[in-house]
Structure 1
Amino acid sequence: MAFSIGDLFAGAGLFSEGFRQAGFLPRFAVELDAEAVKSYRRNVGPNAVHGSVTDVLNLGTVDVLIAGPPCQGFSTLGRRDPLDARNDLCFAVLPWADGAKPKVIVIENVPPFLKSGHWQRLARGLRRRGYKIFTWELEAADFGTPQLRRRAFTIASKIGIISPPAPVSERISCAHALLNEPIAENDLMHRWPTLQGVSAQRVALVPANGDKRDIQKAAPELCPPSWQRIGCQATDVWGRIDPDEPANTLRCTFLNPSKGRYLHPTENRTISLREGARLQGIPDDWLIDGRPYQVARQIGNGVPIPLARAVAKQIYAALSAFETADSLAA
């Protein structure tokens, strides 16, 4: 059976790609970032539209509508500002539900989103439109992603109950993504910032699996006073990735060692754009458009492709069962 999807807040297309790999046909995607639209068109398909989801467009009907509205106002890694204007963008799903008439809607966000007033209002709007609401909280590392990234999925269904996917049996370590598989020498995305001065000195002092605490012990003169004031907080910054475990959540700023545990396991540098892409399950034949910080943002903002694929397979199975039962009844 062929089922179609529409993607809102599509980014570079990681969410769409997971659904495409599960057998769905991407019919449309809407994204405000022009560079991300180029990336989507290059890697997923030509159906991406450059524009805001708040400008409701007539792009046709789909079987499934997927959306990943901004999470910054809900994420524990951010300020969690309830007045962040981006929080209201989740409500754009409602008019798209009216226009695209999907049987299923899948909304991805951070887990705190499910406890917000915005989610409650969105859920009420979906229920008024005849959808039953289910919520899943899934850990990306349980579905073949070499990264710890817990995400919440709101499933709005007109085809009955849809159960969450079962985790795979074994987690994948970072070694699989960063060390075991060589990266082509001519890979345009295998690049990283060149560290200089104090930054280079700090990184050289970080041992395997170490972090800023090791720098503080070895060379306190290289550490700003703020590190002492922060104390035991933010210990992952200037940290090396443990190759034997899944990586920590990959943020959009992973090219900056002061933003998290983003140092290469063995080399004195941050991970490259390609290595960050691998942690999100992005194939090596993908090229993402834009300047390095734009590429990193597109990578860090996406739904890991293996997690998206696991979600999509559940939706596909539920739609197939529904269509089969409907045809038999007819």
Structure 2
Amino acid sequence: MSATFIDLFSGAGLFSAGMIRAGFKPLLAVELAGDAAASYRRNVSDCIVNASVTDLTKIPRADVIIAGPPCQGFSTLGRRDPTDERNELSLSVLSWVKAAKPQVVVIENVPPFIASTHWQKLKRSLEALNFNVAVWELEAADFGTPQRRKRAFTVASKRAPCVAPRGRGRHVPAGDVLFDPARPLRTDDPMHIWPEPKGIAAERMPLIPLRGDRRDIIASAPELCPPSWFKIGCNATDAWGRMDADEPANTIRCTFQNPSKGRYLHPRQDRVLSLREGARLQDVPDDWVFEGRPYPVARQIGNGVPIKLAAAVARRISAHLT
């Protein structure tokens, strides 16, 4: 029989998809955002419950719990606010562990989470429940994802400490999935959409060469630049950056359809990435269609664990359990 798992803070289900690829069976997934829960139901499994993880009381037994609690209070890309009330949600996993009695617990988050007082409390509590706790800091590009994305996995096991998976050698460039001749992007794909550049954005984009960024706009058309750009100087060089198709993409954030938020301009066209292109950079199959308006869909994509990375973690957990 397949080992079973529960997915907490499941989002649209990318981590679950990796678990399923490794042979695990989903018993229950819990997600508060309605659009993300609908995407999970459409693309992964109907075991999803649209609710807060703190609201459910009927908790089944499972071999593994995976969880991706909110990272905004820990991420260096945000305010990194230790008082952010969402930080407390990471500790809500403990009540699920006590009820479901899993053999392994995997909590995924940004690397700074490991340095937080919340993580220290979580680690002590898991050890008090007789878990051996290990930390894996993994780079998604090392596991075949065409994107650089470092994530921290807290892996607690009732057995011996679980050893991290080893990555592969070759990194996959973004162009391999953006321009795959075996998978041409379809014009009728409801996910292959992007905000059409207008006004000053449409004037700026043609001025940015391959691997270029806002510094090229400053040099060639300073009249198109706000005063803040000149004050910032050489900082935030990925803003208004054009993606290099010959390298893994930068981290796909929730705001990847906003050129001011990173290196998200298409390598060959004067536009940002489409939702489908962002999904491909997260290893999402083209038969997935996310539910919701464009920004909530981009958020679902950017919040997910790249599926190939999730599958590598899941295969290592599966080997540990056998």
TM-score past 0.5 threshold: yes
Aligned pairs for 1:179-198 (under 5 A) are: 179-180=179-180, 181-198=183-200
Deviations 1:271-330 (A, max 9, x none): 00000000000000000000000000000000000000000000001111xxxxxxxxxx
* Matched position secondary structure for 1:108: strand
User: Partner of 1:306 in structure 2?
Assistant: 308
Deviations 1:11-50 (A, max 9, x none): 0000000000000001100000000011000111000000
User: Partner of 1:294 in structure 2?
Assistant: 296
* Matched position secondary structure for 2:154: strand
User: Partner of 1:111 in structure 2?
Assistant: 111
User: Partner of 1:319 in structure 2?
Assistant: 321
Shift of 1:126: 0.8
Percent sequence identity over aligned pairs: 59
User: Partner of 1:18 in structure 2?
Assistant: 18
Shift of 1:56: 3.4
Native 8 Å contact 2:264 2:272 kept in 1: yes
User: Partner of 2:135 in structure 1?
Assistant: 135
Aligned pairs for 1:202-217 (under 5 A) are: 202-217=204-219
Shift of 1:169: 2.1
Q: Which runs of 5 or more structure 1 residues have no equivalent in the other structure?
A: 321-330
User: Partner of 1:176 in structure 2?
Assistant: 176
Shift of 1:130: 1.2
Q: Which amino acid aligns with 2:42?
A: R
* Matched position secondary structure for 1:136: strand
User: Partner of 1:279 in structure 2?
Assistant: 281
Native 8 Å contact 1:56 1:95 kept in 2: no
Q: Which runs of 5 or more structure 2 residues have no equivalent in the other structure?
A: none
**C-alpha distance in 2 between matches for 1:220 and 1:134:** 50
User: Partner of 2:250 in structure 1?
Assistant: 248
User: Partner of 1:123 in structure 2?
Assistant: 123
Q: Which amino acid aligns with 1:291?
A: R
Native 8 Å contact 1:254 1:262 kept in 2: yes
RMSD between aligned alpha carbons?
0.8
Runs of 4+ in 1 over 2 A off after TM superposition: none
Native 8 Å contact 1:6 1:65 kept in 2: yes
Shift of 1:54: 1.3
**C-alpha distance in 2 between matches for 1:197 and 1:58:** 53
Q: Which amino acid aligns with 2:292?
A: G
**C-alpha distance in 1 between matches for 2:294 and 2:5:** 30
Q: Which amino acid aligns with 1:57?
A: T
User: Partner of 1:153 in structure 2?
Assistant: 153
**C-alpha distance in 2 between matches for 1:43 and 1:56:** 23
Aligned pairs for 1:1-80 (under 5 A) are: 1-80=1-80
Shift of 1:76: 1.1
User: Partner of 2:261 in structure 1?
Assistant: 259
Q: Which amino acid aligns with 1:14?
A: L
Give the length in aligned residue pairs: 320
* Matched position secondary structure for 2:195: coil
Native 8 Å contact 1:136 1:152 kept in 2: yes
* Matched position secondary structure for 2:271: coil
**C-alpha distance in 2 between matches for 1:48 and 1:57:** 15
User: Partner of 1:327 in structure 2?
Assistant: none
Shift of 1:189: 0.1
Native 8 Å contact 2:59 2:96 kept in 1: no
User: Partner of 1:328 in structure 2?
Assistant: none
TM-score computed with the length of structure 1 as normaliser: 0.96
Shift of 1:182: 1.3
Native 8 Å contact 1:143 1:307 kept in 2: yes
TM-score computed with the length of structure 2 as normaliser: 0.98
* Matched position secondary structure for 1:244: coil
Deviations 1:240-297 (A, max 9, x none): 1000000001110011101110000010000000000000000000000000000000
